[in-house]
Structure 1
Amino acid sequence: MKKKKALPSLLYLVFIVLLPWGASFSVNKCLELWIKNWWNTRQSETLLTDIQEKRILERFIELEELSLLDEMIKEKPKTHVQKPPIGIHKEIIQLVV
């Protein structure tokens, strides 16, 4: 009769010890995988954003230079128009392209 009573007590003891440990282990592993996935995703987004930011900044600088060129052309008197030197002409074409 003692064996029949001891077996359920032993099972309860095993569940009391192993169940919290198993639950903690499972939660830790799931959280670890989720955090690693989230971190890797965020890192690639940040890298992409940095590349896009650099391109936008370069384009903004080009547009600013074109705006300054337009202002210089407007300020110049229109009485005598001449062809710009070849070097300046090539630079203007490169800025536009």
Structure 2
Amino acid sequence: MAKKKAFIPFFYFTSIVFLPWLISLCCNKSLKTWITNWWNTRQCETFLNDIQEKSVLEKFIQLEELFQLDEMIKEYPETDLQQFRLGIHKETIQFIKIHNEYRIQSCTSRQI
């Protein structure tokens, strides 16, 4: 009986000291990595979706314009090809200017 009474305070002391430490250690190991991973993936998705959406829309518009140009060439085969080459050259230069302006704006908006 005396041994049991001597053992009970030691058991309480160890549970008061080590139980919170053990719970904290388990939570840090499991929850910290899960929360960090969740936070990083959510932030990345939000950041990339806006940029990807703009990029996909621009490429879709360019593809649609190329499709319309292809339809025009099929529709009017007797037209002078030199005129089409000049038109394509002018359109290409215009696309490059628009692309450069967009890149400059996106770079300056990231720096701000």
Higher relative contact order (CA 8 A, sep 6+): 1
Q: 1:12: Cα distance to partner?
A: 1.2
Structure 1 pair 58–48 and aligned structure 2 pair: CA distance change class (3 A): same
The unaligned stretches of length 5 or more in structure 1 are none
Residue matched to 1:51: 51
**Structure 1 outlier segments of 4+, above 6 Å:** none
TM-score normalised over the length of structure 1: 0.61
Counterpart AA for 1:90: K
Q: 1:76: Cα distance to partner?
A: 1.8
Structure 1 pair 16–88 and aligned structure 2 pair: CA distance change class (3 A): closer
Q: 1:72: Cα distance to partner?
A: 1.4
Residue matched to 2:35: 36
Larger radius of gyration: 1
The whole-number CA distance in structure 2 between the counterparts of 1:95 and 1:48 is: 23
Percent sequence identity over matched residues?
Answer: 35
Structure 1 pair 92–73 and aligned structure 2 pair: CA distance change class (3 A): farther
Q: Write out per-residue CA displacement over residues 33-80 of structure 1, whole angstroms, 9 at most, x where no aligned residue.
A: 2133212320343123542343233212211210111101211251x5
Higher helix share: 2
RMSD: 3.4
Residue matched to 2:67: 67
